[in-house]
Amino acid sequence: MNEPALGGIAQRAQDRPEPILRPGNTNCGGCGMSIGWQFLSRAVAHEPIQIVIPACCGIVTAGPYPYSAYGAPILASTFASAAAMATGLSQAARLNGEATRVLCWAGDGGTYDIGMATLSAAAERNENILYICYDNEIYGNTGGQRSSATPLGAVTTTTPIGKEVGKKDIVGIMAAHGIAYAASLSLAHPDDAMRKFRHCLDLEGFRFLHILSPCPTGWKSEPADGVQLLRLAVSSGLYPVIEVFDGERTVINVEPSFSYEDLATYFAAQARFKRERYSLEAVAARIQRNWRRLRVQAAASAALAEPLPEPAGAPLAV
């Protein structure tokens, strides 16, 4: 079932007069990242922002110097350094009493792979940064090589027979840092997505958002199908839409139907998955395992709200 888009309201008085990603950008038609930017634009509204974008499709789309397709100040960072450069900008704003919100907008390569140590360290220091990863499950900018976010079975230019291992659980990894907020969002579920953008823009400390981002060029899918593919990824349980507060309280935001048919359609609609190279049964079994774990986490979160029994006996003498 499709969600009604943002209560049916297209443009509101408090929205930005122009989007962050403006017309004239070079993203492919049907790029999920472009949709992500429109959400972010609305959520940010008129707040002052600075955005760090490492090497990825997201920076190429800005166009060549001196033009910028972005209607916001952008620092194009080296591939691994988004979270560290953002640290400098964000601490600078704090020292100068400025309300500027500092964001990172990075691909899966800059997040799961080369930027992981830097990202982890910024999260550990609890820097005041909102880090957004748009995950197209591939190195798009360099022409479609595998990343550690590429799913099992996907053919890329460096996994010609299909990837033999699955992807990392990035929300789990980030939540394990104990940060204020880590969530995944679906661009096909706009109300939930917008709520998450707004919620974490207002939080202090390190926040992480994961966006599954259809990439017709890399996924070998129809440009018009992106949102429908996301619906299938969510309904089949392949892409859990969840949020984790303070690294300990997990909430499941969208309940999948676990439809086997949706899963089959999702795979069949993308030529990166070759029928002879993957087993839907194996994928379904992974989904089952993942969701058992998520349910345990969500249930444990509810238990976290209950007070612990008073510690028995006298405190230990040290």
Partner 1 sequence: MSTQLMTANHAAGLAATLAGRANRRGRGFGSGVYPITPQTECIEFLCKQDIEKGHVVRVESEHSAMAVCIGFSMAGLRAYTASSSNGLAYMTENVFAAGFYRLPIVMMAVNRTMGPPWNIWVDHGDTLMLRDAGWIQLYCEDNQDLMDLSLMCFRVAEDPRILVPAMLGQDAFVLSHTIMQIEVPDQAQVDRFLPPLDLPHRLTDQPRTVGGLDFPHEIEQHREHHAAAMNRVFEVYAEAQDAFEAVFGRRPADPVVPYRLDDAELALVSMGTTASTARAAVDEARRKGIRAGSLRVNLFRPFPERQLAAQLAGIERVAILDRDLSPGMGGILWGESRALAPRDALVQNYMLGLGGGDVRPEHLVAVIDDLAGLERAGAPIIQEVA
Ligand X SMILES: Cc1ncc(C[n+]2csc(CCOP(=O)(O)OP(=O)(O)O)c2C)c(N)n1
Q: Which residues bind partner 1 (CB under 8 A)?
A: 48-50, 52, 59-60, 62-66, 68, 70-78, 80-81, 84-96, 100, 117-118, 120-121, 124-125
**DSSP three-state, residue 312:** coil
Looking at the DSSP bridge assignments, the partners of residue 125 are: none
Q: Which of 19, 20, 21, 27 binds ligand SF4 (CB under 6 A)?
A: 27
d(CA 227, CA 186): 9
Residue 34 binds ligand X (CB under 6 A): no
- Which among 142, 108, 134, 139 is positioned nearest to 38, based on CA atoms? 134
- Which among 46, 53, 85, 88 is positioned nearest to 69, based on CA atoms? 53
Q: Which stretch binds ligand X (CB under 6 A): 63-71, 105-113, 276-284, 290-298?
A: 105-113
b/e map 126-144, b = 16+ CB within 10 Å: ebbbbbbbbbbbbbbbeeb
Residue 96 beta carbon to ligand SF4: minimum distance, rounded to whole angstroms: 35
Q: Which of 58, 89, 106, 108 binds Mg ion (CB under 5 A)?
A: 108
Residue 56 beta carbon to ligand SF4: minimum distance, rounded to whole angstroms: 8
Q: Which does 141 bind (CB under 5 to 8 A by kind): partner 1, ligand X, Mg ion, none?
A: ligand X
Residue 75 binds ligand X (CB under 6 A): no
Give 94 or 289: the residue with its C-beta nearer to partner 1. Answer: 94
Instruction: State which H helix or E strand residue 51 sits in.
Output: strand 49-53
- Which among 103, 105, 91, 113 is positioned nearest to 168, based on CA atoms? 113
Residue 110 binds ligand X (CB under 6 A): yes
What's at 48, amino acid-wise?
A: P
Residue 57 binds ligand X (CB under 6 A): yes
Residue 291 binds ligand X (CB under 6 A): no
CB 214 within 8 A of CB 230: yes
Q: Which does 28 bind (CB under 5 to 8 A by kind): partner 1, ligand X, ligand SF4, none?
A: ligand SF4
| Interface positions with ligand SF4 (CB under 6 A) | 27-28, 31, 33, 57, 136, 140, 215-218
